[in-house]
Amino acid sequence: MSIECDDVSGLTPTPRSILDTNGKSGKSMVEFLSYLDACTLEQRPDCIIWECVSKLDSFRQSNVQERGTDVVKETSAQRGYITEFQKEIDNKRKNKKKIEDEGTGKKWPSMHTKFKDQHGIDDADLCCKQLMWLKEQLQTLQLPKREVEGAMLTFAALRKQRQQDIVLKGVLYVCNIGDSITRMRWKTTHHCLLPRKRYLYLTEGTVFINPGKQFLFALQGLSPAELYGLQHRLSCTECQDLLGNAFTSNVIAAVALAVLLFVLPGK
């Protein structure tokens, strides 16, 4: 049973008791207890595995005055269960050696070095005429060093794979530079448009990143008329968060229209 962390996490602005049904954490907990109460002894599970953030085991003083694990133990005991908790420690993460880059503690440089080795990319590959042009264009966008280097390496890998310069005339390439180097790729079809991700677009003589909220929604197929009511009320960040819903609504509309045009008339 996973207790929602919304009102338990140390980052939440709304700390609540895990029995407070006004919060998501309390609602999920109380609903599960109600489910147990509705079961006969034979129907109840033999054991329950509880899961939540580590903050559940801390005594929270701000407006709550409870230790969540104690509440779970008490309510479980009332229903005939003996409960114990064990804090899971990620030893891999704890003991992982940090890779230093210019004193910032970043680990992406080692990932980029590994990518270069895997694809056999050397300095000559990165200093060819097409890559040097791309580098100049990327520097005008004032992107973080990680994104610039990632875009260069993945483009060099694509060029090395094709064993020639990439033809840009009449073609638009898209790179998901908001991802790590392990997921970053140049494609002629758009990557899955995820909230708050940055994408780089490359065509003949032009390099640009996703420029604004109208562009973001247009990629999901919304018309200018549909965008008119949104573009003045929503920030770019809010637009990015709504992109998934925008895509879903268009799919549903297309399916509904197909049913009306091709399925219902035949009946």
Residues 113-159: tens digit of each pLDDT? 999 999 999 989 999 999 999 999 998 888 899 999 999 999 999 99
Of all residues in the chain, the percent with pLDDT exceeding 90 is 21
Q: Which are the contacts of 158, defined by CB distance < 8 A and separation ≥ 6? A: 166, 186
Q: Which are the contacts of 68, defined by CB distance < 8 A and separation ≥ 6? A: 3, 8, 18, 52, 55, 56, 57, 58, 60
Sign of CA dihedral 121, 173, 220, 264: negative
Query: 32 in helix, strand or coil?
Result: helix
Average pLDDT, the chain: 80
Average pLDDT over residues 174-188: 91
pTM, whole model, 2 decimals? 0.51
Residues 35-82: tens digit of each pLDDT? 899 988 888 888 888 888 888 888 876 677 888 889 999 998 998 889
The residues facing 202 across adjacent strands are 173, 207
Residue 104 pLDDT class (50, 70, 90 cuts): very low
Output 265 or 150, whichever has higher pLDDT. 150
- Nearest Cα neighbor of 217 from 200, 234, 204 is 234
Residue 185 pLDDT class (50, 70, 90 cuts): very high
DSSP 203: E
